[in-house]
Amino acid sequence: MDRSAFPWARRGRLAAVPESGGHLAEDGGQAIPLSRSKLTEESVMPLPSPLRVHLRSAGVSLVVEVPVRGLPVVLHWGDDLGALDAATASTLSLARVAQPMPNQVDEPVRVAVLPEHHTGWVGRPGISGSRAGTAWTPLFTVTGATLDGQELGEWREQGPGSLAVEAVDEDAGLALRLELELSAAGLVRARAALTNTAPEAYQLDDLVLSLPVPQRARELLDLAGRWGKERTPQRRELQVGTHLREGRHGRTGPDAATVLHLGVPGFGFAEGEVWGVHTGWSGNHTHYAERVFTGEQLVGGGELLLPGEVRLGTGETYTSSWLHGSHGHGLDAVARRFHRELRARPQHPRRPRPVTLNVWEAVYFDHDLDRLRDLADRAARLGVERFVLDDGWFGARRDDSAGLGDWVVSPDVWPDGLHPLVDHVRGLGMEFGLWFEPEMVNLDSDLARAHPEWVLAPGKRLPVTSRRQHVLDLTDEGCWTHVRDQMTAVLSEYPIAYVKWDHNRDLVEAAHRGTGRPAVHEQTLATYRLMADLKQRHPGLEIESCSSGGLRIDLGVLQHTDRVWVSDCIDPFERRQIQRWTTQLVPPELMGTHVASGRNHTTGRVHDLSFRAGTAFFGHLGLEWDLARATEQELAELTAWIAAHKEHRSLLHSGDLVRADFPDATVELHGVVAPDGSRALYQLASVGRSEVSLPGALLLPGLDAARRYRVTPRLVGGPPHGLVRPAWWPADGEEGPVLPGAVLTRAGLQAPGLLPEQAVLVEVTATA
C-alpha cells in the first residue's frame, strides 16, 4: 500500500533500541525490577512500515496495527472477519482512519491500546505520571514486536496468539512493554509494563488500558450493590463524557462494576452485540467507558493507584493488572467466554465439586465437640462430602473482638486440638475444611501486642476499626512469614483439604507504618503470594475467596483460588439475582451456593426448602444450616436434592450458561446446555406476582435446532407448593413429550403455574 496515504507516518522520531525484551511477572501490578539490557547509545529510525496482525478464535477477530509512529492500535475487535490478506488489512487500516474535523489537531488521531496525549487525544490518557513535573506526556517509539515470541513481520494472520510490543521514550526516560492477546475462548486481554530508565525517580499515578467499541454501542450495563445484595445490575445510556467506576475498598468491593458492558441499545442475554471489560485485580481498581466529542468510544480499566503508591526508581518496573475484554451477541455469549477461559486453566478444579456443609450459621462461635460431631453425622447421612469449621477455633476468639491473627488452636475450646473433630469427620468419608482470615488482626491478640508495627496505619494514629479489626501489613516480610508459618503449622498438623479465606473489612488508610506511604498495591500482591506459597507447600489444597461474603470476586484472586463465596446473604430470593449476575464472570462450579435454614439469618424471610435448594442447585452446592433443627421430612427432601445435584453436576459444572430474556420480570428462566447439545437442565422460578395469571410460553435457549429432545420435569423431593401443570406435562411415571430443538427454542412450551418464590426443574435430553 502507498504510504503516502499516511503523511504523518513518514515523520518518525529517533529512539534507542533495547537489546532485549523484559520479563513480566504473572501477577499484575507489581513494582519490581524488570530485567532489561541497557539502551544502546546508537539511535535508529523507528519501524520502516506498519506491522499488522489478525488473530482469530471462537468467532472473534482482533486486528492490531503497530504503526510507524505511536503505540499499537486495535483496528477491529468483534465478529470474525474471515481470512484477510496483507493488502486487505492495509486497506482496513486506511478505512478506519478518522479524518480531522474543524478545530481539531491537523493529523488524524489514532487511539492506541494505551491512549497517548501527544497524538491530540483529549480523552483519558493511558499513562498519568511525572518525574517531579516533567516527562508527563511520553511519546513512545516502537522498537520491536513479537507474536508468540517470534519477531513479527509486516503481516501475520493466525488463530489465538500473544502480541508483545516494546517501545521507548529516551527523552522521558521510560521504556514500555505492551502485551495484547486473544485466547482460544475468544477472550482479549491486555497489560503493560512501564520501566523507569532514568536516574531520577518516576511517580506513576495511573496506568489504564482500553479497547475501542463502535458507535452503534450506546447502552451501558454494569453492576453495583452493597453487603448482602451484591451484583445488582444497572443500565444507562452512554453519553459524551466518561462513565467511571472506581473501587477504593482495598478489595474488589460489594459495589464493584465486575464487568462493564457497552452494547447496542436493548441488548439482552441472547441478542444484541455487546462488548464487556473486566479488570482482573483484587485491590483498588477502575472500569470506565468513554465517549468523546469526536464520537470515538473506548472501554477500559486498570489498577487505581493511591497518591505516591508507585514510585519507580532506576530500573524498576510497574506491571499493570490484566484488562480482559469479551465480545458476543448477547450477555450469555460474553459470559461464556469468561467461563471457557477459566475452565481452560491448568489449575481449574477438575474433580466433582464436593457438596459442603459450613457450620457458621449452625453454631457461630459456640464450638462444642459433641454438637459438631452430631452435625457431621447428620451431614454424612445426607450425602455431604466436605465439612468446614468456621470462625472461633483459634486463640482467644470467642467473639469478633479478640484473637484474630493468632492462628493457633485454642486450648480452652479444643484441649485435644482439632484431632477429635477432624478424625471423626474424615472417618465419615468427608473432607475437612477450616476458616482463616490471614490479612486481619484484632488489637486484642498476642500478635498485635507483640508487633504493633505490623498493623497498617498512616502513622502514629490507627485507622477506624471495622468489625473491631485492623489490617496486617503483609508487605512486611517478617509479618508475612509469621502468618505463613502459623498457617502452615496448622495445615501440616491436620489433613485440611480446604481453606475458607475471609477478608472482612475495607482497607481504609492502609499505609506502611514507618513511611506512611499507601500499601494497597503491595498488600494485594503479598496476599496473592501467600496463597500461592501455601498451595505449593500443600498440594491439593483448595482455597475459597470469601470477603464479607462476595466482596472479592475477580479474575486476579481466581488465579489463586478454587471457589468464591457469592454473598453472606443466603436468602434464596436475594441470591437468585446475586448468582444470576455473578455468572456474568464466574462459571457455576466456582460459586459457593448454599441451602440456608428455613428462616434466613440475614433477611428474616421464610422460604420452602424446594425454593432454597433449587436456588443453590446450579452452583457449588452446600449447606449453611443447623441440621439438628431440621425435621425428618426436611432431611429426606434435602437428601433428594443432594442426590439430584450429584446426578447432574457434571453437566451443571461444564455446560454452557443460558439465561432467558423474559418480558415478565416476575419470571426467571436459566439453565446449562451440554457443549455438544445432547442435554440441558433448566430452572423456571417465580420471583413475584404478575398482573397476568400465566407467563405464557417458555422458550428454552441453547438447543440444537436440528435435533429432537425429550422434555421431562424433575420434581425433586416432590412438587413445589401450588404447582399447576400444563397439558403437555406428563403424568407421574410417564415420559415427557419429544419435540425438535427449533420448536423448543422458537415456539416453546406453556409454562406451569407457580406461586411466588417457587421453582421447578426441567430436563431436556436429545433423542436423535
User: Which residues are marked as active site?
Assistant: 502, 568
Sign, Cα dihedral of 434, 440, 444, 445 = positive
Instruction: Please say whether the beta carbons of 749 and 698 come within 8 A.
Output: yes
Residue in 452, 367, 485 with CA at minimum distance from that of residue 418: 367
> Which residues does residue 310 pair with via DSSP β-bridges, in sequence order?
204
| Strand residue runs (E) in 525-652 | 542-545, 563-565, 591-596, 620-624
Distance, in Å, from the CA atom of 255 to the CA atom of 747, rounded to the nearest integer, reads 38
User: 3-state DSSP: the chain helix, strand, coil percent, rounded to 5?
Assistant: 20, 30, 50
Using CA atoms, how far apart are residues 138 and 70, in angstroms rounded to an integer?
10
| Encoded amino acid at 96, one letter | R
Q: Give dist(CA 320, CA 36) in Å, integer.
A: 18
Q: What CA–CA distances, in Å, run from 704 to 77, 113, 336, 352?
A: 28, 38, 17, 27
CB proximity list for 195: less than 8 A, separation 6 or greater: 22, 34, 36, 174, 175, 176, 177, 312, 315, 316, 317
Q: Which DSSP symbol is given to 540? A: T
Joined together, the cell numbers standing for residue 200 give: 531520577
**What 8-state DSSP symbol labels residue 510?**
-
**In terms of Cα–Cα distance, which of 421, 442, 426, 424 is closest to 363?**
421
What secondary structure letter does DSSP report for 506?
A: -
| Coil, strand or helix at 210 | strand
Cα distance between residue 249 and residue 252, in whole Å: 7
Other CB atoms within a 10 A radius of the CB of residue 205 amount to 15
Report the SS3 class of residue 229.
strand
Contact call for residues 480 and 530 (beta carbons, < 8 A): yes
**CB within 8 A of 415, min separation 6: which ones?**
none
The answer to whether residues 594 and 563 touch, using CB atoms and an 8 Å cutoff, is no
Which DSSP state fits 19? S
Residues ≥6 apart with Cβ < 8 Å to 604: none
Closest CA to 396 of 411, 379, 415: 411
Write b or e for each residue in 116-128: b if 16 or more Cβ atoms lie within 10 A of its Cβ, otherwise e.
bbebebebbbbbb
Sheet holding 51-57, edge to edge: 73-79, 60-66, 51-57, 155-158
SS3 321: coil
Cα separation of 107 and 465, whole Å? 54
Q: Which helix (H) or strand (E) holds 423?
A: helix 419-427
**CA dihedral defined by 157, 158, 163, 166, rounded to 10 degrees?**
-40
DSSP characters for 700-713? -TT--TTSEEEEEE
Do residues 619 and 566 touch, judged by C-beta distance below 8 A?
Answer: yes
Walk across the sheet containing 758-766 and list its strands. Answer: 656-659, 667-673, 679-686, 758-766, 708-714, 738-740
- For 478-614, where are the E strands, in sequence order? 498-501, 542-545, 563-565, 591-596
Neighbouring-strand partners of residue 286: 246, 302
Torsion, Cα 635 636 641 642, to 10 degrees, reads 70
